Amino acid sequence: MYRIVVALVAATSCVAIAQAQEVGTESRQISGPLLTLDEAVALAGGSAPAAEAAAADVDAASAARRVAGLRPNPALSVEVENFVGTGPYNGVNGADITASVAIPLELGGKRQARIAVADAAAHRAQIAQAIAQADIRFQVTELYIQASAAEVRVAIAEDQYRIAGDTARAATIRVQAGRASPLEQERAEVARLTAETEAEKARRLADAARASLARRIGRPVTGPLDVAVLGGPGSGTMGPPRPVSAAGTLALAAADADLATADAGVELARSQRVPDLTVGPGVRRLEATNDVAAVFSVSVPLPLFNNGRAAVDQANAERRRADAQRRVTALDIEQKISDAEVEAANAAAAARVASGPALSSAMEAARIARIGYREGKFGQLELLDAERTLTEMRSASIEALASYQLAKARLERLTAPAPLEGN
């Protein structure tokens, strides 16, 4: 029923445009290929700054993972002793030279802890990228539905304007034939002017909606839109409420990733409490005997002032915050999903009422009233009342269908699944 209604309303735009010149209204020129919702989403995703930023974050996290796996660089040192002194040490001829390499040895699992933090951050960046893509799809879907609904409103307004013009001409004929008073002609002319104003208003709003969609996808929207996206729910009931759970959603996955990053941060802070060793094997040349000897040094930092305890306390506090934020997120998402399901159910019920038998009856009543008015069987007031009722029902139908699709899009965004780790 709903696709039939939408197709019927869209088809009236062709009639309205074809007859617009006869009744004096300026038709809108729409040319170009059909732009579907999926095509609009793809275009927006390819030019959206948010998508580029999310992709850059993923690349940065991947590079950070490689950095985390690197070991510390060794240091080469050269020492010159016993030169530029007094007596036998005057000049540089008596200098002893020592060359050594300082090799840091990380202890306590620091490298593994860094890698774990980098892995958690990389997974969080992937989730952020999925969130950006879901947001882009939702935003484009909203704009596309609004633009499609605006196009259907233009079709309705232009069709009503065409009908008002036909009614005005019929009223003129009746007055000239002496079958009606001039007041009837004036009322018909007022109705025609009102319909013309509404048609112009609908066209301006549709052009604005198209411009908003064009800005979002990064290219002009010159072709028609697929008004089939305004199809309504089925005729059956919505069924019993589903159990509301935030598990598997993008928002909860982001909170889980933040908690995993905080856990890895705690392990990293603990590993930092273990002092590292620096070993320095080298070679010394003794100028006095022209001999060469090996040297070996070991250095260990003394944790007298900073033993790492404060850093562990900070990491534990951040972990508690991430855990609490995860619980808050789970409650918020479940509440939002529940509200969105109720909103979608209410919108579905409104769409069934507005786009069902009531609209069909209003269309048939208006058709009969037009025929009866031309044949002199109905008065003008009956015709105007039937036309007003049909206009209201058409507008209510489009509003209900658009509201249902927007509510469904919001629910789909809230329940969008999270990507698997590593994908």
How confident is the model at residue 89, as a pLDDT?
67
- What's the CA gap between 157 and 201, in Å, rounded? 9
Please state whether 291 falls in left (phi above 0), alpha (psi between -120 and 50) or beta.
beta
Taking each helix axis as running N to C, give the angle between helix 380-414 and helix 110-176, from 0 to 180 degrees, rounded to the nearest 10. Answer: 170
pLDDT at residue 387 above 90? no
> 355 with 234: CB under 8 angstroms?
no
Per-residue pLDDT averaged across 176-182, rounded?
A: 77
pLDDT at residue 260 above 50? yes
Q: Which residues neighbour 356 within 8 Å (Cβ) at sequence distance 6 or greater? A: 1, 235
Q: Which of 58-67, 77-86, 126-135 has the lowest mean pLDDT?
A: 77-86
How confident is the model at residue 22, as a pLDDT?
38
Q: Can you say whether the dihedral through the CA atoms of 317, 322, 327, 329 is positive or negative?
A: positive
The three-state secondary structure class of 107 is coil
Which of 109-123, 168-182, 185-199, 406-420 has the highest mean predicted lDDT (pLDDT)?
109-123
By CB atoms closer than 10 A (0-12, 13-18, 19+), residue 168 is buried
- What's the CA gap between 341 and 347, in Å, rounded? 10
How confident is the model at residue 134, as a pLDDT?
93
Per-residue pLDDT averaged across 254-278, rounded?
A: 94
pLDDT at residue 414 above 50? yes
- What's the CA gap between 174 and 186, in Å, rounded? 12
* Stronger pLDDT, 34 or 14, i.e. the higher one: 34
How confident is the model at residue 245, as a pLDDT?
77
How confident is the model at residue 298, as a pLDDT?
93
Q: Which of 92-101, 166-175, 298-307, 404-413 has the lowest mean pLDDT?
A: 166-175
> 117 with 92: CB under 8 angstroms?
no
> 148 with 2: CB under 8 angstroms?
no
How confident is the model at residue 12, as a pLDDT?
42
Encoding tokens for residue 307? 């033993």
Using the structure block, give the residue that is written with the tokens 């549709």. 206
Q: Which residues of 88-115 are buried (b: 16+ CB within 10 A; e: fewer)?
A: eeeeeebbebbebebeeebebebbebbb
- pLDDT, one tens digit per residue, over 286-310 is 877 888 999 999 999 998 899 999 9
Among residues of the chain, what percentage have pLDDT more than 70?
A: 87
How confident is the model at residue 283, as a pLDDT?
92
Per-residue pLDDT averaged across 362-389, rounded?
A: 79
pLDDT at residue 356 above 90? no
| DSSP assignment string, 289-333 | TTEEEEEEEEE----SS--SHHHHHHHHHHHHHHHHHHHHHHHHH
How confident is the model at residue 234, as a pLDDT?
57
According to CATH, the superfamily of the domain at 2-71+106-273+308-414 is: Outer membrane efflux proteins (OEP) (1.20.1600.10)
Q: Which of 12-21, 272-281, 362-371 has the lowest mean pLDDT?
A: 12-21
pLDDT at residue 14 above 60? no
How confident is the model at residue 242, as a pLDDT?
55
Give the angle 394-395-399 at the CA atoms, nearest 5°: 120
Bridge partner residues of 99 (DSSP): 78, 283
* Stronger pLDDT, 377 or 239, i.e. the higher one: 377
pLDDT at residue 238 above 50? no
